[in-house]
Amino acid sequence: MRAALWLVALFAVAAAVALMAGDNQHVVTLFWPPYRVDLSVNFVALLLLALFAGLYLAMRAMAMLMEMPKQAQRWRAQQRERDAHVALLDAIGHLLAGRFLRARKAALTVLAREKSLAASGGPLAHAGQLRALAHLVVAESAQSLQDKASRDEHLHQALELTGHRSSPAEREIHEGTVLRAARWSLDDRDVKGSLAWLDALPQGAQRRTLALRVRLKAARLARQTRVALETAQLLAKHRAFPADAAQTLIRSLLRTLIQDARDPAQLQSVWEGLGIADRKLPEIACDAALRLVELDGDKALARAWLLPVWDVNVKEPLALSERQRVRLVQALERALAGDDDVTDRDWLARIEAAQQAQPRDAALQYLAGIACMRRQLWGKAQQLLTQAAAGLQDPVLKASAWRTLAELAEHRDDPSAAALAWRRAAGG
């Protein structure tokens, strides 16, 4: 459309010129005594146009001639700028390829060329960013070469260049430099230093995946299990790990947090801080109950923690793995009080009902036998434990069943049966 309008305008100008100049009989007379020169108006107009064009071209040529030194200077500055950028690309390429000496040399070349540009009066608008990246490459190479003095020197120079953070690009480079410093401190096993670098980041940058990964490693090395757990949960929320790996890591941290409890009150505080879903995990509930018993805590409370897992085991026997079921049996065995406690009697009824519903389950037979023994039902305990000892696959439960049978035999003054049971408990 635009080209068509220009074409119409061109035809209009041509038609106007043809109408005005085609039949123009006017002349221009120049008097130069004793001469007289008559020129047509059309010729004078063309002559004036040619004179204007000539003067314009002459002035343009003179301006270009005067501009040539400045253009040469700009060309040289652009060439040095290109060389600096090419050197920075080479430095990054060598760093990624593991050529740390070459990367450091190329990054130092960047710094030298940028300094030359600044000295020549043509500093770059992004000189701070260029120098900061070069210093960061030198520091990264020095870290890989175990040159900590050079690393720290260039790290501080990069931080100083981006410390004012006047532009978004400089802020990003500054935060990236702090993250690299945190990782280097972690590589040096300086956990406090790594956490200090991470705390220096803005709040938003602290929640980035890379920062969270570094914080997780640092917290685990510092045995700050609570911080590590919160960080792992954030990483799982950001999908930084595969689902299975995240679940395994969180469970491991939860179990560590439980084992680190030093008294029942601290353990109960940890338990109350867990989510509902975490409390229903078999490993977590069993570990918490066993730890509470080890700390001489309330066994009734330990049994209450195990109740959701027990219900799942009764209603859906295949929901728990064999290892989890063995762990549940061990936890309940330790948590049974053995006195005339109401909740203990309720648990005896639950165990008997589950054992009768699954009469061939050796683990339930073992647990029911232990419960009967705690209630001093010797005959029934011996019957159930004898059946369980023959069917148990777990060596720990099997040995425990034979030891209990040996104690029952000694209680009823049967030394031969006790000796046989002790030998089988020892694996004989």
68-99 tens-digit pLDDT: 877 777 777 778 888 888 888 999 999 999 99
More confident residue, 11 or 321: 321
Domain finish residue from 235, 253, 271: 253
pLDDT at 408 exceeding the cut of 70: yes
User: In the predicted model, what is the mean pLDDT of residues 275-303?
Assistant: 87
More confident residue, 305 or 22: 305
Tokens of 16: 């106007």
- Model confidence pLDDT, tens digit, residues 227-268: 888 888 888 888 888 888 888 888 888 888 888 888 889 889
Pair 394, 408 in one domain: yes
pLDDT at 358 exceeding the cut of 90: no
Pair 374, 291 in one domain: no
Q: Among 99-113, 159-173, 212-226, 256-270, whose mean pLDDT is lowest? A: 159-173
Pair 404, 347 in one domain: yes
Pair 201, 229 in one domain: yes
d(CA 179, CA 205): 9
Domain finish residue from 108, 143, 161: 161
Position 105 scores a pLDDT of 92
Tell the residue number behind the tokens 């930084």, with chain if given. Answer: 240
Position 56 scores a pLDDT of 92
pLDDT at 60 exceeding the cut of 70: yes
Domains of the chain: total:
4
Pair 137, 203 in one domain: no
Going from the C-alpha of 128 to that of each of 64, 173, 174, 208, the distances in angstroms are 34, 10, 11, 25
Cis omega (within 30 of 0) for bond into 69: no
Asked if the structure places residue 9 within a domain, the reply is no
Position 126 scores a pLDDT of 79
User: In the predicted model, what is the mean pLDDT of residues 27-47?
Assistant: 78
CATH of the domain at 360: 1.25.40.10
Position 341 scores a pLDDT of 57
Q: Among 71-80, 338-347, 354-363, whose mean pLDDT is lowest? A: 338-347
Range of the domain at 345: 341-428
- Model confidence pLDDT, tens digit, residues 126-168: 778 888 899 999 999 999 998 899 999 999 999 888 877 667 8
Helix (H, G, I), strand (E, B) or coil at 321: coil
Q: Say if residues 267 and 288 touch (Cβ distance below 8 Å).
A: yes
pTM, full prediction = 0.69
d(CA 417, CA 362): 21
Tokens of 48: 């004036």
In this structure, the number of other CB atoms found within 10 A of the CB of residue 190 comes to: 16
Computed over every residue of the chain, the mean pLDDT equals 84
- Model confidence pLDDT, tens digit, residues 366-385: 888 888 887 777 788 788 88
Pair 121, 174 in one domain: no
Position 19 scores a pLDDT of 64
